[in-house]
Chains A and B, each alone.
Chain A
Amino acid sequence: MTSRYFPPTANSALVELRDVRFGYGERVILDGITLTVPRGKVTALMGASGGGKTTVLRLIGGQYRAQAGQVLFDDQEVGAMQAGDLYAVRRRMGMLFQFGALFTDLSVFDNVAFPLREHTELSESMIRDIVLMKLQAVGLRGARNLMPSEVSGGMARRVALARAIALDPELVMYDEPFAGLDPISLGTAARLIRQLNDSLGLTSIVVSHDLDETFHIADQVIVLANGKIAAQGTPDDVRSSRDPLVRQFVTAAPDGPVQFHYPGASVEDDFGVEARP
């Protein structure tokens, strides 16, 4: 398969967030972040749990609306779209959910065929060929007749990946694709993301906590912290960052700007002892 051609006049960014704010009630999740996702590249979104990484994916997919700022997909503002336009844009996106989100009443084959049956008028024989090609790409052609309850967590995510690319999207978003995977499945999943991105000419956004694998496959890394972007650049740039918060994240240090202990009463107060001089 050949890579998708991006004309030189086209905006090099497929996705842009401009000064986006989002929160739940008084809790601010994203506090005016601005970022770009270049076409044809793998962009990793990293940061502490609850830092707003998945929220960014949902804003790009139009499942959440930004409270301020703009979310652009191919220069179109996602937040301002009506349902029809939003669904048209979503057909150009694929999303891999954390645990696959496979339809439990459908077989592996039918899960991958689902978007094709919903959005195209293709014949069943054509759908069969496309589904088998997508399953071949993720190494699960032989598992086509299994039910989701019969496949492992890693396999479920590969099936979900085949389903996400069934309609040949331009953008694929991965929400923690490595969570809970054994080392073999983890390596396989990471290689698949990179290979599919390059061979299908996709643009990929990967939300992950796995530093080694993510730094290995990403072209660009964005670290979110406290609702802002703490670091942005190539994996090497982020690795060599001097920002204390980014350092703590990259070295996986238990204490630092993000504290190990949840704020509360002192140990002396709780245990009723005198503080040592």
Chain B
Amino acid sequence: MKFLENLGFGLRSYLAGLGLGARLFVRLVLLGRVTMRRFSLVRDQIHFLGNYSLAIIAVSGLFVGFVLSLQGYYTLQRYGSADALGLLVALSLVRELGPVVSALLFAGRAGTSLTAEIGLMKAGEQLSAMDMMAVDPIKRILAPRFWAGVITLPLLSAVFSAVGVVGGWMVGVLLIGVDEGSFWSQMQGGVDVWSDVGNGVIKSVVFGITVTFVALLQGYEAQPTPEGVSRATTRTVVVASLAVLALDFVLTAMMFSI
């Protein structure tokens, strides 16, 4: 009997959590227009989140570009297609690695920071104080951060891909000696703005929504204790990373089928 009670309680808590998350998501989306009217709040958060992640995104992009170029050359030269190295590096970055790796890094760097910030505001009764001042914390605190995250991640993905391409060029052309003209011309000819870059942008927007929402939800729902905030921060990384990888599969499958 106790087991059934616990099962029922667990199920009800889970469903309540889902419902709360869904309501919060709908509110954040509906608050988009109101939030953009006070763009200074969003701008400050874009600056904050972007600054947090720019260095790690740029450095990671560079190293991923290095490795892609080395691995790509190793495979392509077997088939006498080393000239296509630029195309391989660019397509890999723009379609896949740029959005996915940026989202994973964003979750670890900016996402955890968002969760901790919101969780600590909750623990310090700042959100309650705001609510008692007749200021809606979802509108004033969460919505600007949500929309800032949605805007920031595609920009960071673009930086990641661009730096990655430069990294690929440094290893492929400068280090290995692939022909520079072939490297750039194959890339220029083979990468389609709409189907390749466009798909990457769509992915990074979806990942931006996912990661930022997960981070905000975890912070907003965190137990207002040091342990609760610490757990929420960990959950942000785990849930957001798994969601990004699962969504990447779904989106890629959809994009190939179109």
A residues touching B (Cβ–Cβ < 8 Å)? 61, 63, 83, 87-88, 90-91, 93, 95, 97-99, 101-104, 114-115, 118-119, 160, 163
Contacts and interface: CB of A to CB of B under 8 A. Distances in A.
A253 to B, nearest CB: 32
B47 interface: no
B253 interface: no
29 contacts: A63-B128, A63-B132, A83-B136, A87-B134, A87-B136, A88-B134, A90-B131, A90-B134, A91-B134, A93-B132, A95-B129, A97-B129, A98-B125, A99-B124, A101-B125, A101-B129, A102-B126, A103-B129, A103-B130, A104-B121, A104-B126, A114-B133, A114-B135, A115-B133, A115-B134, A115-B135, A118-B133, A119-B135, A160-B129
B12 interface: no
Contacts of A163: 133
A101 B133 contact: no
A119 B124 contact: no
Contacts of A61: 132
Interface string B75-117: 0000000000000000000000000000000000000000000
Interface of B: 121, 124-126, 128-136, 140
A101 B134 contact: no
Contacts of B135: 114-115, 118-119
A119 B136 CA distance: 12
B39 to A, nearest CB: 16
Contacts, number: 47
A105 to B, nearest CB: 9
Top 8 A-B pairs ranked by shortest CB distance?
A: A101-B129, A87-B134, A101-B125, A90-B134, A95-B132, A97-B125, A91-B134, A115-B133
A90 B135 CA distance: 9
A103 B134 contact: no
A101 B128 contact: yes
A225 B124 CA distance: 27
A101 B131 contact: no
A83 B136 CA distance: 10
Nearest to A61: B132
Contacts of A101: 124-126, 128-129
Among B125, B129, B131, B135, chain A packs the most CB atoms within 10 A around the CB of B129
Residue in B121, B128, B133, B140 whose Cβ sees the most chain A Cβ within 10 Å: B133
A83 B139 CA distance: 13
A18 to B, nearest CB: 22
A88, A101, A104: which has the most chain B beta carbons within 10 Å?
A101
B125 A90 contact: no
B124 A104 contact: yes
B16 to A, nearest CB: 14
A195 B125 CA distance: 26
B218 to A, nearest CB: 20
